[in-house]
Structure 1
Amino acid sequence: MTTVVPVLTQWFGYMDSDDPDRVLAMIADDFTMSVQFSTGAGQSAEFVGDRAGLVAYLAQREKSTLIHHIDVGTVAGEYELVVGRTTRDGAFEASFNATAQLDSAGAVRRLLIARTPEISFVR
């Protein structure tokens, strides 16, 4: 497997920045997403929707506090898939996987992200 996943690398780079709203320029007209966000101990929230759902998700998240690290990634046709982790001030916070389906122009059509602090793939 590779870690060369250009779209998701850019996506998480934007999400980790002071201006995460730049991801809005990366989505297709028919964009749909689901972010399953666990805070641990069985507590979680799901953020779903189209462009408006992504705008709402962006509005509620902390800016420039978490760093996404892609540990494994692959491209399979129109899909990019990754397994990674987030850190806060250098310390492990959560593991995540993400799957993006891209359109013919490379825009994100579908996005599924799941994260939890309960499992770490780091040895």
Structure 2
Amino acid sequence: MTTQSRASGAAASQPAAPQPGASFLTTWFAILDSEDADRIIDLISDDFSFAILFSTGGDGATDFHGGRAEMEGYLAQREVGVRTHHVLSASTVGLDELFLGEVRRHGELEATFVASARLTGTGRVRRLLIGRSPSVLFT
């Protein structure tokens, strides 16, 4: 898919330049870290799909994936108020956002995570892919 078809009005010969920050994902993680994380359901599109590969180290990882119902299930199983997400770097290219961050558990560094999101023209998330692991730390 070309940049032009994802971001209407972009010149066909010029890909979208990366922009600092990722306002949607920054908002997403702020809500996720709140006491009312289920509000993120209001930010997803009708055809939303996601995958979250959640590693706590070693050989095991859990792959959460699906659509709206599965995201609701993911939110229901989380430990509220325990983990927080902190940005290390973020960028936006057209309708795509990329986010590198760290997860802290009770304030202590636990893991690094990466997130990518493709947004709709109306600012909702259509596709979301997140991976996290304690095996590689960027700080």
* TM-score category, normalised to shorter length: over 0.9
Where in structure 1 do 4 or more consecutive aligned residues deviate above 2 Å? none
Answer whether contact 2:49 2:128 (CA < 8 A) is retained. yes
Following TM superposition, by how much is the alpha carbon of 1:88 offset from its aligned partner in structure 2, in angstroms?
1.4
**1:111 maps to which of 91, 106, 128:** 128
**1:15 maps to which of 3, 8, 32:** 32
Cα shift readout 1:88-120 (whole Å, capped 9, x = no counterpart): 122101100000000000000000000011110
Percent of aligned positions that are identical: 42
Residue in 1 aligned with 2:41? 24
Answer whether contact 1:3 1:71 (CA < 8 A) is retained. no
In structure 1, distance between residues paired with 2:70 and 2:20: 28
The answer to which structure has the higher strand fraction is 1
In structure 2, distance between residues paired with 1:45 and 1:17: 23
In structure 2, distance between residues paired with 1:39 and 1:68: 15
CA, structure 1 residues 90+3, in 2 after alignment: closer, same or farther (shift >3 Å)? farther
1:93-108 mapped onto 2 (5 Å cutoff): 93-108=110-125
| TM-score, with structure 1 as normaliser | 0.95
1:1-123 mapped onto 2 (5 Å cutoff): 4-122=21-139
What is the SS of the residue equivalent to 2:45?
A: strand
Unaligned runs of 5+ in 2: 1-17
| TM-score, with structure 2 as normaliser | 0.85
Larger radius of gyration: 2
RMSD of Structure 2 on Structure 1 (CA): 1.1
